[in-house]
Amino acid sequence: MKLHELRPAPGSRHSRKRIGRGISAGQGKTSGRGQKGAGAREGSKVPRAFEGGQMPITMRLPKLRGFTNRWRAEYTAINVSKLNRFPSAGIVDGAALAQAGLVTRPGERVKLLAAGKLKVALTVRVQRASAAAIRAVEAAGGRLELLETRPAKTERAAPGDAGATAGAGPNTGDDEEAEPEG
């Protein structure tokens, strides 16, 4: 094959459509623009999102961004100071909180927060609790049981971190310090 024998692939090149050059050309007279109307006039354009006069989708949709998560779990916040009304060494759960009027239903999700001071030792059973609330309950001599557990966050190594994979496998005991014999 020589340079003068090179040809584009069949069907890849087309000759330009010559409009307004007579009836036999197929695009004569009105040049493919139809009869009259705005589209036949010179400089006729419609906006990019024009929908023919129908209310555009950008105006039909709500204005504010974001969305509502259908599966969001709502928690009722209760401070530790509100738990002082329960008898010492008692168990505080959903039923006890509902009976005391702190929540509306016994099955309601509760998050314990640390505002105030807890003076009685209680066993508290709630879905979630802040770290400070856990410390406050334990400092008062009580115990906190979390009914919902979140999956632990796994730490990912930064790309190119050489020491990231060291010790990632099962514990073989090689990395522990040996106790001195004697």
SS3 annotation, the chain: CCHHHCCCCCCCCCCCCCCCCCHHHCCCCCCCCCCCCHHHCCCCCCCCCCCCCCCCHHHHCCCCCCCCCCCCCCCEEEEHHHHHHCCCCCEECHHHHHHCCCCCCCCCCEEEECCCCCCCCCEEEECEECHHHHHHHHHCCCEEEECCCCCCCCCCCCCCCHHHCCCCCCCCCCCCCCCCCC
For residue 125, the domain's CATH number is 3.100.10.10
- Residue 6 has, within 13 A of its CA and on its CB side, a CA count of 3
Q: Is residue 1 part of a domain?
A: no
Structural domain that includes position 136? 76-146
Q: Is residue 137 part of a domain?
A: yes
Q: Provide the pLDDT for residue 156.
A: 64
- Residue 24 has, within 13 A of its CA and on its CB side, a CA count of 0
- Whether the CB-CB separation of 95 and 110 falls below 8 Å is answered with no
Q: Torsion angle of alpha carbons 10, 15, 16, 18, nearest 10°?
A: -140
Q: Is residue 106 part of a domain?
A: yes
Q: Is residue 83 part of a domain?
A: yes
Sheet arrangement for strand 128-129: 76-79, 110-113, 128-129
Q: Is residue 42 part of a domain?
A: no
Q: Is residue 181 part of a domain?
A: no
Full-prediction pTM beyond 0.75? no
Give Cα separations from 108 to 77, 104, 145, 171 (angstroms): 11, 7, 16, 41
Q: Token pair of 118, please?
A: 């807890």
Q: Provide the pLDDT for residue 180.
A: 55
Amino acid at 112: L
The Cα 124–Cα 145 span in angstroms is 6
Number of domains in the chain: 1
Could you list the pLDDT tens digit for every one of the 182 residues in the chain? 899 999 999 999 999 988 888 888 888 888 888 888 888 888 888 888 899 899 999 888 878 777 788 899 899 999 999 999 999 888 999 999 999 999 999 989 999 999 999 999 999 999 999 999 999 999 999 999 999 777 666 666 666 655 555 555 455 555 555 555 55
- Whether the CB-CB separation of 80 and 97 falls below 8 Å is answered with no
Q: Provide the pLDDT for residue 125.
A: 94
